[in-house]
Structure formats: C-alpha cells, structure tokens
C-alpha cells in the first residue's frame, strides 16, 4: 500500500511474510497465492506491499538462476503484490517448532550473514517495482549479547563496512539503492536505540548512507524506550531510520494482581523467545524468556512488565493484559507525522499468530488473512489520521 506524505514523497506500507513458513522458492510462491493475494483482496486494493522473507535455501536458488528471479517477479505482478523491503533477520528455520535462540545465527561475525545479506540486496534490485529505485533490508543487530567480545565486535563492524561497499557497487551497476537497517532487539548486543547509536555513530561506524536502523516498535516498547526521545536521538546523530516494523508488545501493568500471572502464562510458548522486561526505579531489568520471568522472584512484580510477544495490532489481549499499541502510535507519529518522514518503509510484522494462546489463534488460512487485513487497516487508519493520503 502506498501513501502520499504531505511533503510529496511516497510512504510504503507492507506486511511481513515471515508469518508464513516457507524455506524454499516453491513455498514462497505458495505464500503469494494462498496468503498475500487473499489479504490484498480483503483490503479491496489493486496493489499490496509485502515485506518478503526469503530463507537461505530460497535465496540460494534465486541467486543461482536468473530465470527463477524473473518467475518470482512475474508472480508478484500477477498477484497484485509489490516488494520494496525484505526481512533479512531470520536466516532459516523460522517456521520450525522451536526457534528461540537459533534465530540469532549466523550473526554478523560469521561470513554466512554477510553473504546472505548481500544476496538479498542483489535480489531486491530485481524485485523492486519499475517506478521505485530504493529498497531496504532489515537485519540482525550484530549478535546475541552473550560471548560478544571486543574482537567479535570489530569483526561485525568490518563485515558491515564490506557490505556497504558492495551496496555502493550494486547501485553503480543497477541504478538502484539498497540500504540495510540493524534491528535493535532485547537481549542482543544492540538492544536499544542508545546501543544502536553507539555502533552506528561511534568509532569505526559503517557508512550512514548504507547502514542505519530498523525501528521495531514492539522491541522499542519492550525496552520501555520513549519513542520521541529515541527517534530524536537518531535524528540528532544523523543515523537514518531505514525502515520501521509496526508491532505491539504484551503489557502487564500490575504483574502481581489476581489473574495476571495466569494470563501471562498463556503466552509462554515453546517456539519463540519472548524476552520480558520490568521498569524499575533503578532502570530496566529483564529475563530472556517469559517463562523465566514468571518464576518467583525473577523480576520485581510491583512495576509494569512488557514481553517481546508481537500482539496483533487490532486485537489486544483481554484484561488484565493489554498491548503497547499506544507506543506504536507515538512512534509512528514521530516517524511520518512531521514535515518530512524519517522513513518511507513501514512493515506490519506480527509473526506470532500461531504462537498465540490456542483460543486466539486463527484456525484456517481465511481467518489468518482476515487478521492480517485487519492489522493493515489499523495501520492505514493511523497513517491517514496523520495526514497521509492513500494512493491507488
């Protein structure tokens, strides 16, 4: 979906396809037919943006055979779909029964991460619509925090520098500019905007015209970051917001109140990691997973908790829980509500539909399409309320 910003530029809104399990190209093609096109039809749009997730095996096939790239582009056109951004964070296995810490490998100290991201950038130049010359890729925020030594940090920054040089060369040969955004995530070596600034505005930082930040509003909220302050800090340091993922975290205002631990426990599931944070007078404290937080004494229960669980935008959990949709709205206001947008690529990224408590999960493809369309409607209403005009 495209929107005209008051400054005359185009802002793109997509939904991320990492919600659909697909490790190979055939699976991606099925996604477009069985999921993405039905969402487009529900929104009564001739064209729908998708933030495409391409796993390692799909990328290897596409980079090996240009005819497969042409076939994918033709299928996108046939289904009324367009791609301006890729989700390059998960490398493979994101649809597995147990993902947890596996999603952070390979990290930016390993050559596979650099090669995969460079391949994604090359593919994106071929998938961009004919009237679009700029694409974006979101990626892992360097690595998971444990064992991240100064030597590994230097290796990661060196790899990002190499990537930036390759992206420069790619623009010279294709005429299309691809930028990559590190996505701060709780528990990673870059888990906050402040951490991102240390990496991207500090010594040995990669070139800002190629490497910036992907602001995930669920992650921002989980860390209890104030959106305006965080985004202003990026702007002041001239670190670009390459893209933003529109998502909401799970929030418990009174974790010790009757019924709250049980309600939170319903969201403790074995597939994804749900880092949980508590806001204390001394700062933010946390655990690596929601189940860890629910153990007696793990976190102070007299202050609010937030958990890295992407809650559908249109369907916050019933009391005594809620979501951080207000943080998303505040962030979006700062991102695109000003005289000039801080980013032009927005992506709804609720990948946890099948990890929701059983009574809240979609039981059919049709129900899932209904839910994704409803989320996009929420985002669309927020954008138009900020003065953006939806384009055909």
From the list 221, 237, 130, 149, the residue with the least C-alpha distance to 189 is 149
How high does pLDDT run on average in the chain? 97
The pLDDT value recorded for residue 203 is 86
Name the token pair of 99. Answer: 């993902």
Query: In sequence order, what DSSP letters do the residues of 317-366 get, joined into one string?
Result: PPTT-EE-HHHHHHHHHHHHSSSS-S-SEEEE----GGGS-GGGS--SHH
Virtual CA dihedral for 364, 249, 113, 100, nearest 10 degrees?
A: -70
Q: Tell me the three state secondary structure of residue 241.
A: strand
Gap between the Cα atoms of 47 and 375, Å rounded: 17
CB contact at 8 A, 19 and 350: yes
| DSSP state for residue 272 in the 8-state scheme | S
H helices of the chain, in order, are 25-31, 37-42, 56-64, 66-78, 111-127, 150-174, 193-200, 217-222, 227-236, 260-265, 290-293, 325-336, 365-385
Place of tokens 């230097």: 154
CB contact at 8 A, 139 and 180: yes
Sign of CA dihedral 144, 148, 152, 154: positive
pTM of the model: 0.96
Domains and CATH numbers, the chain: 2-249+323-390 (3.20.20.150)
Gap between the Cα atoms of 387 and 111, Å rounded: 44
Q: Is 359 exposed, middle or buried (0-12, 13-18, 19+ CB in 10 A)?
A: exposed
Gap between the Cα atoms of 392 and 386, Å rounded: 18
Please state whether 202 falls in left (phi above 0), alpha (psi between -120 and 50) or beta.
Answer: beta
Q: Which segments in the chain show pLDDT lower than 50?
A: none
CB contact at 8 A, 284 and 224: yes
Sign of CA dihedral 42, 364, 261, 219: negative
Query: In sequence order, what DSSP letters do the residues of 242-259 get, joined into one string?
Result: EEEEE-EEEEES-TTSTT
Place of tokens 């055939």: 26
**Residue 311: in which H helix or E strand, if any?**
strand 305-311
CB contact at 8 A, 53 and 86: yes
CB contact at 8 A, 251 and 305: yes
Beta bridge partners of 51: 16, 85
User: What angle do helix axes 325-336 and 227-236 make, rounded to 10 degrees?
Assistant: 30
How many other C-beta atoms lie within 10 A of the C-beta of residue 65?
A: 12
From the list 83, 71, 73, the residue with the least C-alpha distance to 15 is 83
**Residue 12: in which H helix or E strand, if any?**
strand 10-16
């Amino acid at each position: 979906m495209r929107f005209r910003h008051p400054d005359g530029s185009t802002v793109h809104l997509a939904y991320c396809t990492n919600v659909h399990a697909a490790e190979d190209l055939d699976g991606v093609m099925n996604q477009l037919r069985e999921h993405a096109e039905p969402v487009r039809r529900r929104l009564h749009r001739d064209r729908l943006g998708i933030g495409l997730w391409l796993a390692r095996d799909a990328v290897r096939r596409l980079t090996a055979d240009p005819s497969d790239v042409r076939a994918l582009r033709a299928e996108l056109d046939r289904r009324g779909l367009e791609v301006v951004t890729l989700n390059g964070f998960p490398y493979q296995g994101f649809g597995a029964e147990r993902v947890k810490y596996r999603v952070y490998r390979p990290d930016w100290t390993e050559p596979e991460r650099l090669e995969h991201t460079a391949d994604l950038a090359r593919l994106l130049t071929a998938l961009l619509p004919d009237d679009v010359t700029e694409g974006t890729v979101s990626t892992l925020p360097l690595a998971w925090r444990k064992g991240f030594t100064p030597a590994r940090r230097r290796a990661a920054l060196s790899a990002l520098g190499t990537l930036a040089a390759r992206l420069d060369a790619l623009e010279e040969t294709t005429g299309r500019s691809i930028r990559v955004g590190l996505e701060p995530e709780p528990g990673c070596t870059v888990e906050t905007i402040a951490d991102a600034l240390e990496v991207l505005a500090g010594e040995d930082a990669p070139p800002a015209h190629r490497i910036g930040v992907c602001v995930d509003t669920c992650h921002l909220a989980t860390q209890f970051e104030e959106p305006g302050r965080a985004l202003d800090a990026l702007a002041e340091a001239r670190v670009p917001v390459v893209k933003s993922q529109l998502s909401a975290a799970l929030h418990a205002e009174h974790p010790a109140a009757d019924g709250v631990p049980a309600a939170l426990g319903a969201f403790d599931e074995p597939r994804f990691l749900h880092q949980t944070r508590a806001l204390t007078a001394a700062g933010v404290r946390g655990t690596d997973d929601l189940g860890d937080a629910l153990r007696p004494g793990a976190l102070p229960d007299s202050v609010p908790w937030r958990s890295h669980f992407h809650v559908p935008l249109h369907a916050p959990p019933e009391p005594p829980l809620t979501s951080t949709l207000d943080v998303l709205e505040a962030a979006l206001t700062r991102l695109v509500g000003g005289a000039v947008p801080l980013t032009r690529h927005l992506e709804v990224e609720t990948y946890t539909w099948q990890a929701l408590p059983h009574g809240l999960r979609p039981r059919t493809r049709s129900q899932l399409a209904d839910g994704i369309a409803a989320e996009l409607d929420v985002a669309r209403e927020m954008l138009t309320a900020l003065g953006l005009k939806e384009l055909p």
